[in-house]
Structure 1
């Protein structure tokens, strides 16, 4: 009799532990460092690290509905150092949808609203490279497309890395 109860108890615990791993919605936070590499418009091509240095600090919250779909809200302050003078040049408000692609890959489709007056979209391809029980490290390729504020449309290629917890 005791043996049956111990088996039942073991099955119950193993069922609860597997249930705890798949509870949704799942909320995660993250912080990253973003380096725009090159920005192209019809008028010019700007390369980061050449004449100036721009860096962004994406910080956000992801709310996963299930393992395939979620919502994310991100804020990205950008700092530019140009000829020895640095300042916050822009803050991007970045809500979007998350699509889990499997094998550690995620697609984020974000709307973009910049404090500079520009707006657009930012598709992002993300890959988790190290995953532990408390956090994971990721790399991402953001591809911002921006319009407005009496400037020509721009397309940027960037590189981002960060930690999610």
Structure 2
């Protein structure tokens, strides 16, 4: 997942503005029916700035999955970060190529975060992935 923009009451920042952040979510989806399921994601984040890079955060991301039809989906996730932040992440997704045992998708996560003595924030990102 590539964060695009982060907005809070103090400032607006974009990825590539002095640093590069990327997140590698992986998880398990359990579908209760064709329309609703449960998901748990773990998502380590890596930040490259100047001459260094490091894993700077681990996101624990449980949520509910809803199939909206025609390849569209919605995930409503809770968010717990090792950085001390917490919140919710609504995610809209679309399957762009379905194979026999997998699917390629694109998604737009829209995290809202609170806590850790920082102002509330909203961000948006772009995600591509494969599901099995």
1:1-165 equivalent positions in 2, closer than 5 A: 34-165=1-132
Q: What is the rounded CA distance, in whole Å, between the counterparts of 1:69 and 1:49 in structure 2?
A: 36
What's the TM-score, normalizing by structure 2? 0.99
TM-superposed deviation, 1:85: 0.7
What's the RMSD between the two structures over aligned residues?
A: 0.5
Q: How many residues align?
A: 132
Q: What is the rounded CA distance, in whole Å, between the counterparts of 2:64 and 2:50 in structure 1?
A: 38
What's the TM-score, normalizing by structure 1? 0.79
Structure 2 gaps, min length 5: none
Q: What is the rounded CA distance, in whole Å, between the counterparts of 2:51 and 2:112 in structure 1?
A: 28
Q: Which runs of 4+ in 1 moved over 6 A?
A: none
Structure with greater strand share of residues: 2
Q: Name the SS of the counterpart of 1:43 in structure 2.
A: coil
TM-superposed deviation, 1:50: 2.2
TM-superposed deviation, 1:49: 1.4
